[in-house]
Structure 1
Amino acid sequence: MKHILIPIDFSNNSWNALEYAVQLFKSEPCNFFILHIDELNKSDENGNSFLVIAKPSPTTIKDKMNRFVERIGNLPSNVAHQFIALKEYGDFIDLIKKTVQEKKIDLIVMGTKNIFHFKATVFGSNIGNVITKVPCNVLVIPEGTALKKPKKIAFPTDFNLFYSYPILHSLTEILEISNAYLEVVHVSQSQPIFTNSQVNNKEYLNDYLHELFSNSHSFQSILGANIRDSIINYISSNEIEMLTMVAKNLNLFQQLFINNSTDHLSYHTSVPLMVIHE
């Protein structure tokens, strides 16, 4: 049974993330934890336990949650899926970490805009913080993503990282669930000269994939002046439908997702991004 956490802000992006996750894990037994987190001062009681008498809101959080749950009830019936609605007040990241630990979460799924900066909105900022601060796999679903399992997944890597069991297990899971073709992509600005460590890591990854996915993977090399632009162009020209990265691969991760002009984490493609944590 997989435990999947979907933080929501009641936007269309949140709903798209939920629908994508339901479709992706259609054949898998799952508990979906639908979590809304609001500021502490919006709870019924403040820090000194005095009741806050507020002007009635035309649409309360409870109303929004009820409507969201009603929409879930209209999804195609799946006896393998259970949905649990949660509401919390306080610091977003602290409560995400708490929920991940208490509910034994395997994957966090969050929705956002097609082309965006993670810091552009409050929820967008939270996505960036979840990716970088919560030790749990994260799947980011851009707005407009087709509700279907990906047929081709790109895995950018510089082979500097040893592919540990948690990394390979997560990669294997997504490939088995989607039945997708994996393209391992190495991007460099000049003809690469691999260190012994990189050669060993590449051979280890190749042996693993050859054993489990012998006919459904390949290794690709790209030369480009800009690593980020090269990956984006590769995604669009090769019909890639999901990008997966290892968070621990800091050098490559920063080149792809750190906006040098603002130091903000950003993501510039319209395909889902899977970030794997060990």
Structure 2
Amino acid sequence: MMNILIPTDFSDSSHNAMKYALEYFSGVEVNFHMLHVSSENFAETKEQESIIQSDEKIQTVKSVSALLKEEIRMCKFHTTNKAHNFFPHHENLSLVEAIRKKMAKIEIDFIVMGTRGNSTMESSELGSNACDVITKVKCPILVIPQNARFKLINNIAFLTDYNGIYRNKVISTLAQTLELHQSPLRVLHIKLPNANLTASQTDNKGFLHYSFKEKKHSFHFVESKDLEMGIQDFVETWDINLLSVVAKNLNFIQRLLLRPTFPDIGYTTKVPFLVLHE
């Protein structure tokens, strides 16, 4: 039984992430844990807990409970798998602290987070904390743009610079993802024009080839001065439905996911990211 944690701020982007997760994991037994976090100054006294404030950002325990129940009702309506179970969670902590608390009690396999439009993570209360989650929580994270709609995962891209050997956790999570959707892996390296791999990079490429020898996979090189444009061309050419990247590559994460250089790059609004941890 898999355990999937979905942080929610009850926004459209959160709802979209939930719906995507239901289809993404439609073929497996899953416990979905719906987590809402409140601001640090929320419910400081018992008197405050019983009062519904006019400010929509402040929720009482009672109202949050009702909203989480509604989220679960919606998920039960949309799921097609009777082996999908749903559990509400509410914490008065920061998002990172709340997730770590849940992970200490529950073996979480994936975190699923929603984002909004071109500006992605920085345009919602939930999104403003996503960078911290990606860099500080050691768990695979599916990042779902608000405009993304589930499609069959025909091809999964893995973006790499070949500058290191990936540990078993990265390899096993990628292999599990390939198995889940019966998808081939497209290993992508964006290189500058006329640049060649070093001997070390070539060895690391060989390690990836060996690691996925039992899975359908291929290696691709795209020459481009712009990382974003190179990926955009590849996503469109190869019908990529999921982009995966290792969290330690902070430059990749910031450029591709958090602060895209080009506002018209389509993959940032349509293609989910799988962020992997070693």
What pairs up with 1:14-29 in 2 under 5 angstroms? 14-29=14-29
Q: How far apart, in 2, do the equivalents of 1:131 and 1:271 lie?
A: 17
Q: How far apart, in 2, do the equivalents of 1:102 and 1:187 lie?
A: 40
**Aligned-partner SS, 2:147:** coil
Task: Report percent identity of matched pairs.
Answer: 33
In structure 1, what is the equivalent of residue 214 of structure 2? 212
**Aligned-partner SS, 2:122:** coil
Q: How far apart, in 2, do the equivalents of 1:173 and 1:146 lie?
A: 22
8 Å CA contact 1:118–1:124 kept in 2: the answer is yes
Q: How far apart, in 2, do the equivalents of 1:95 and 1:29 lie?
A: 24
Point out the more displaced range, 170-179 or 20-29: 20-29
Q: How far apart, in 1, do the equivalents of 2:225 and 2:80 lie?
A: 49
Matched, 1:178 2:181: yes
Q: CA deviation at 1:95?
A: 1.0
Q: How far apart, in 1, do the equivalents of 2:253 and 2:94 lie?
A: 26
Matched, 1:97 2:100: yes
Matched, 1:132 2:141: no
In structure 2, what is the equivalent of residue 109 of structure 1? 112
**Aligned-partner SS, 1:42:** coil
Structure 2 residues not aligned, in runs of 5+: 262-266
Q: Go from structure 1 to structure 2 and tell me whether the alpha carbon gap of 1:223 and 1:171 turns closer, same or farther (over 3 Å shift).
A: same
Q: How far apart, in 2, do the equivalents of 1:96 and 1:254 lie?
A: 21
168, 172, 195: which one aligns with 1:169: 172
| 1:103-147 Cα deviation digits (max 9, x unpaired) | 111110011123224223322112222112211110011123222
Q: CA deviation at 1:250?
A: 4.0
| 1:142-198 Cα deviation digits (max 9, x unpaired) | 123222331111111111120221111010011010111221111011223322221
Number of residues paired by the alignment?
Answer: 266
46, 51, 63: which one aligns with 2:47: 51
Structure with greater strand percent: 1
Runs of 4 or more consecutive aligned structure 1 residues displaced over 6 Å after TM superposition: none
Q: How far apart, in 2, do the equivalents of 1:143 and 1:22 lie?
A: 15
TM-score for the superposition, normalised by structure 2 = 0.87
In structure 2, what is the equivalent of residue 83 of structure 1? 86
Could you say what the CA RMSD is over the residues aligned between the two structures, in angstroms? 2.3
**Aligned-partner SS, 1:144:** coil
Q: How far apart, in 1, do the equivalents of 2:121 and 2:193 lie?
A: 30
Q: How far apart, in 1, do the equivalents of 2:122 and 2:135 lie?
A: 13
In structure 1, what is the equivalent of residue 201 of structure 2? 198
Q: Which residue identity does 2:174 align to in structure 1? A: L
What pairs up with 1:26-37 in 2 under 5 angstroms? 26-37=26-37
Point out the more displaced range, 70-79 or 195-204: 70-79
Q: Go from structure 1 to structure 2 and tell me whether the alpha carbon gap of 1:269 and 1:11 turns closer, same or farther (over 3 Å shift).
A: closer
Q: How far apart, in 2, do the equivalents of 1:244 and 1:252 lie?
A: 11
Q: Which residue identity does 1:80 align to in structure 2? A: A
Q: Go from structure 1 to structure 2 and tell me whether the alpha carbon gap of 1:220 and 1:41 turns closer, same or farther (over 3 Å shift).
A: same
Q: Which residue identity does 1:184 align to in structure 2? A: V
Q: How far apart, in 2, do the equivalents of 1:145 and 1:254 lie?
A: 19
TM-score for the superposition, normalised by structure 1 = 0.87
